[in-house]
Each structure stands twice: as C-alpha cells, then as structure tokens.
Amino acid sequence: MEANLRWTLVTAVAPVSWGTNYFVTHAYLPAGEPLYGAAIRALPAGLLLLAVRRELPRGSWWWRSAVLGLLNTGVFFALVYIAAQTLPTSLASTIMATSPMVMMAVAWGLVAERPHARHLAGAVVGAGGVALMLLGGDASASPGGVIASVAAMLLSSLGYVLAKRWGGEVDLLASTAWQLTAGGLLLLPFAVLVEGAPPSLDGPALLGFAYVAVVATALAFAAWFAGLRHLPAATVGLVGLLNPVTGVLLGTLVAGDVLTVRQFCGLALVLAGVLLGRPAARRAAGVRAFARTARPVR
C-alpha cells in the first residue's frame, strides 16, 4: 500500500507540472510558432536527461525512441500548442480529460490490462468533474482546435501505453531522454521549413522556456513514465486529471479568480475519480493490515 501511494504521488508530479505549464506558456512564451515551441520544449529537456544518464539507444530502441518521441513529445507538443491558441483552456482541458478512457482501451489491447469497473467509473466521474469545473456557456469551439486537441489526446494515449509496454527493457531516465531528444530533433527541420527563423526570446521568455523544459518536461515526463512502469495505465490516466485541477487552483492564487460552488463540486468529482483509480489489490491489502492491527473493544 505504501509503495502504491508513493508511486501515485510521484506520478502526480507530472500533471501538476503540466497544469502550471498553461500559465507559463500564456504569460511568457511567444505565440504563433507551435513547431519551434514544441522543439524548444522537448530538445533541451531530452539533452539534460541524456547528460545525466549518458546512455545511447541500442538495437530496436533507435526506432522505438523515434516513434515514442513523435507520439509523446514532438507531435503532441505541437498539437497542444495549436489547441491552446485556438480553443478556450476549459474546452481543451475537457477534451483531454477523456484520455483516461482512451488509455484504458489501448492498454487493454496492447498490454492486456483489462479495465475494472472502478476505473471506468473513475474516468466518467473525473471527466464529468472537469467539465463541471471548467465548461461554461461561452466556450466557443474552433473546428481546427478541436481536431488538434482530440488528435493530441489519441496520439499521447497510444504513446504512453507503448512506453509502458516497451519501457521495462531499459533504464527509465534513459528512455525518457531518448524520447524527448528524438521528438525535438525530428521537429526542428519542419520548424525551419514552416516557421522560418527561430523566434527571438527576451529574458522572461528564456526563463519561461527554462521552467517548461526542466520542470514541466524533463522532471514531469520522468515522473509520468515512472508511474506507467509501476502502476496500471488506468490509474496513471486518472491521476492525469490533476492537470486541469492545478490550472484552476493556480488561477485562484495568481490571477485572483474566485472558485464558484460549481467549481468546488467539479474539483470534488475529479478527486473522487482519481481515488477510484487506485488499484484494488493495494486497497484490500490496506484493509487486511488494518484488520490485523485492530483490537476488539472490551
């Protein structure tokens, strides 16, 4: 039970960091250049982890790193950037909140992790909580933004499960470094062809990219893939719902937003969905441990 809780907390580092990434991106990073934005986010993070681990891919991990790099970082980052520029954050986050259900389906097919009823219930409750917390009547939908957001959700769900299937063969930090580096390198030629010269960055933008690369990418993805290695994909997907929760709470602390009753109810539903995703075997072990230590009242 303690190990399960520890890996859940480690995994939570990722969505919490990604939740802060929305604010940093909107406040400090240049808009309108998604390919450069994705490459500048992925490549430094990958090189940083590569400098720490100092291990190159071997055999099939050369092409696996390229596939995972495109699915989990390169194309995913670019699509998220487009969605962030063309959709309200509330709508984009609500679309991404359906990813736990997609991850469950992909994990069932690729790694034989059959979703339990509590996981499905947690996904429905959590997605409903995100919608209740974020969606309002004025959320306008750009067709291109919706397509980008849905594509990002589908590609990353597939990439995460593939990382879980292949990841046990190699070191965690090394495989994370390879994915990030491959994703960044594969994006650079397209960024040059499509967007021309790199964007000029001022001091705040450089600091913003430093935070995004080190905290919201290198640290976050290492934590996320660690969770995928030690927890069911369904559980990890539900922990990911903490991403929009972080965004809402950050808005109250930084922007002075006031939480409404509807948002409080949404937050409660999201947390309930995350708790429903905890592995049943671990919860049962905890109950048995409590029963062994309990003493009858005399």
Identify the pLDDT of residue 206.
93
What is the residue-averaged pLDDT of the chain?
84
121-143 pLDDT tens trace: 999 998 888 888 777 655 566 78
The model carries a pTM of 0.83
User: DSSP letters of 82-111?
Assistant: HHHHHS-HHHHHHHHTTHHHHHHHHHHHHS
pLDDT band at 254 (very low <50, low <70, confident <90, very high): confident
Q: Name the token pair of 48.
A: 């940083």
Identify the pLDDT of residue 280.
60
Alpha carbon distance 9, 6 (integer Å)? 5
Identify the pLDDT of residue 283.
44
Instruction: Indicate whether 91 pLDDT > 80.
Output: no
* Mean pLDDT, residues 249-277 taken together: 81
* pLDDT: which is higher, 138 or 116: 116
Q: Is 277 helix (H, G, I), strand (E, B) or coil?
A: coil
* Mean pLDDT, residues 49-75 taken together: 94
Identify the pLDDT of residue 291.
37
234-253 pLDDT tens trace: 999 999 988 888 877 877 77
* pLDDT: which is higher, 12 or 22: 12
Question: Which of 62-66, 124-128, 280-284 has the highest average model confidence (pLDDT)?
Answer: 62-66
What is the identity of the amino acid at 59? Answer: G
Q: Contact at 8 Å (CB) between 76 and 225?
A: no
The two counts, helices (H) then strands (E), for the chain are: 15, 0
Instruction: Indicate whether 232 pLDDT > 60.
Output: yes
Identify the pLDDT of residue 139.
54
Alpha carbon distance 74, 66 (integer Å)? 10
Identify the pLDDT of residue 257.
63
pLDDT band at 59 (very low <50, low <70, confident <90, very high): very high
Instruction: Indicate whether 274 pLDDT > 50.
Output: yes
* Mean pLDDT, residues 79-104 taken together: 80
Instruction: Indicate whether 154 pLDDT > 70.
Output: yes
Q: Contact at 8 Å (CB) between 177 and 49?
A: yes
Least confident of 175-179, 188-192, 211-215, 291-295: 291-295
Identify the pLDDT of residue 293.
39
What is the percent of the chain where pLDDT is above 70?
88
With 0-12 CB in 10 A as exposed, 13-18 as middle and 19+ as buried, what is 150? middle
